[in-house]
Amino acid sequence: MDKIPILRMGDLLLVTIQVDLYDRIAEALEADLVQMINKTGAQGVLIDISAVSIIDSFMGRIIGNIATMSKVLDAETVVVGMQPAVAITLVELGLPLNGVLTALNVEKGMTLLRTKIDIKYNGSDDGNTE
Amino acid sequence: MDKIPILRMGDLLLVTIQVDLYDRIAEALEADLVQMINKTGAQGVLIDISAVSIIDSFMGRIIGNIATMSKVLDAETVVVGMQPAVAITLVELGLPLNGVLTALNVEKGMTLLRTKIDIKYNGSDDGNTE
């Protein structure tokens, strides 16, 4: 079990991180994810880190990398389920995950992505423009 | 990271198994899942085992247990993403996962669950009954 599975749900991809992201596994995840976005034309990526209770600068950087790579491939990234202690640690490490959207849980993350995708294709974020 | 996260998506729950299910972690998963079904009133449980490349009789039994527990709590269980080698092993072990629905991937599993839930509440599996 040396690979993190990427689940496809419609035009979104879901990645649940449950193991420590060491070099090889992190590299494989990045490679798999960009390939999957390319193959499926996914519009958004949800990264669930609710099982992550300890985070370090390496893992923070990997999440940032994934978000940047996805952005280049025209997909938004939302990190969901962050534990309070992890949020504190990220700020203390000086890694506030700039450019990464966050949401409290998968459902809220999905809603956020849907809204983002909607705005992108309909050109407006309110319904009043005629 | 000694817990397997359970993600809520509408009235479905998604569990992605990426680590070996040892005694304690398997027990925690069972307990968490029944609690989550009870709390959320979930109608279906999706268990993604696409990251599982080696399966033993213990893990097979745990999956069976989860399905039975969910059934008692009025939720269907679908196992998705089983690797071919795992399917062969399960049959060779004499554990064909009776009573557990399977689907090729998460999307197909969700469709299957939706159909099941639909049939349950509308009492019929075809649209011709007026």
**Chain A interface with B: residues with Cβ < 8 Å:** 1, 3-5, 7-10, 14, 16, 18-20, 48, 50-54, 81, 105-107, 110
Sorted by sequence, the CB contacts under 8 Å of residue A85 that are 6+ apart come out as: A53
pLDDT band at residue A126 under the 50/70/90 scheme: low
Report, as an integer, the average pLDDT of B56-61. Answer: 87
Distance of alpha carbon A116 from alpha carbon B127, whole angstroms: 35
**Average pLDDT over all residues of chain A:** 88
Q: What pLDDT band is residue A129 in, cutting at 50, 70 and 90? A: very low
Where on the phi/psi map is residue B108: left (φ > 0), alpha (ψ -120 to 50), or beta? alpha
Q: How far apart are CA A18 and CA B87, in angstroms?
A: 24
How much is the average pLDDT of A7-11? 90
Q: In what order do the strands lie in the sheet with A44-48?
A: A6-9, A12-16, A44-48, A76-80, A101-103
Residues of A in Cβ contact (< 8 Å) with B16: 5, 7, 16, 18
Averaged over B35-61, what is the pLDDT? 91
Give the model confidence (pLDDT) of A67-98 as tens digits. 999 999 999 999 999 999 999 998 898 887 87
Indicate yes or no: CB of B5 within 8 angstroms of CB of A105: no
When pLDDT is averaged across residues A17-37 and rounded to a whole number, the result is 90
Q: What's residue B48's pLDDT?
A: 94
- Confidence tier at A130 by pLDDT (50, 70, 90): very low
Q: Among all chains, which residue has been given the structure tokens 């839930």?
A: B117
Average pLDDT over residues A102-125: 87
At residue B45's C-alpha, the angle toward residues B74 and B128, to 5°, is 70
Angle at B88 between CA B82 and CA B90, to 5 degrees: 75
What sign results for the dihedral spanned by CA atoms A26, A30, A35, A38?
positive
Which of A52-61, B91-100, B109-118 has the highest average model confidence (pLDDT)?
B109-118
The continuous run of DSSP H or E covering A101 comes out as strand A101-103
For residue A1, is pLDDT > 70? no
In 3D space, the residue among B113, B9, B106, B44 whose CA is nearest the CA of residue A111 turns out to be B9
Which of A1, A3, A51 has the CB atom closest to B1's CB atom?
A: A51
pLDDT reported for residue A70: 92
Nearest CA in chain A to B16: A16
Q: pTM higher than 0.80, yes or no?
A: yes
Of the partner residues A3, A9, A19, the one whose CB lies closest to the CB of residue B19: A19
